[in-house]
Amino acid sequence: MRNMYEHPAYVPRGIMKVIPFWEYRYPKTFIRIGWVASVSLLILGGILCAAGYWWGAVLFVPAAVRMWVAYQLMQFVQS
């Protein structure tokens, strides 16, 4: 019996719900956009926290989610 993770086109259902369908058309572009956006959010959040605006820490959550989505898309492209 074949393992479902060995198939190169296999994408888990949870990932399919998180990553929009248009990101599968040009995955390398959206991987770059995702990393740039998440690094920008991390820098902005760090600057806001350093200036005393602690609500800037809220920006770390969408940055982490976007990094995770870009990583999952990168794993899909490599398979």
CA 20 – CA 74 distance, rounded (Å) = 14
Provide the Cα torsion 38, 65, 67, 73; round to 10°.
Answer: -130
Domain membership of residue 47 (yes or no) is yes
Instruction: Please count the structural domains in the chain.
Output: 1
Task: Look up the pTM and report it.
Answer: 0.73
Question: What pLDDT, on a 0 to 100 scale, did the predictor assign at position 2?
Answer: 45
Nearest Cα neighbor of 37 from 75, 76, 64 is 64
Answer with the residue of higher pLDDT: 6 or 17: 17
Q: Which helix (H) or strand (E) holds 55?
A: none
For tokens 């998440």, the residue is 38
45-73 pLDDT per residue, tens? 999 999 999 999 999 999 999 998 888 88
Question: What pLDDT, on a 0 to 100 scale, did the predictor assign at position 64?
Answer: 94
Domain membership of residue 49 (yes or no) is yes
27-49 pLDDT per residue, tens? 888 889 999 999 999 999 999 99
Domain membership of residue 3 (yes or no) is no
Domain membership of residue 42 (yes or no) is yes
Domain that holds residue 72: 25-78
CA end-to-end span of the chain, whole Å?
20
Domain membership of residue 4 (yes or no) is no
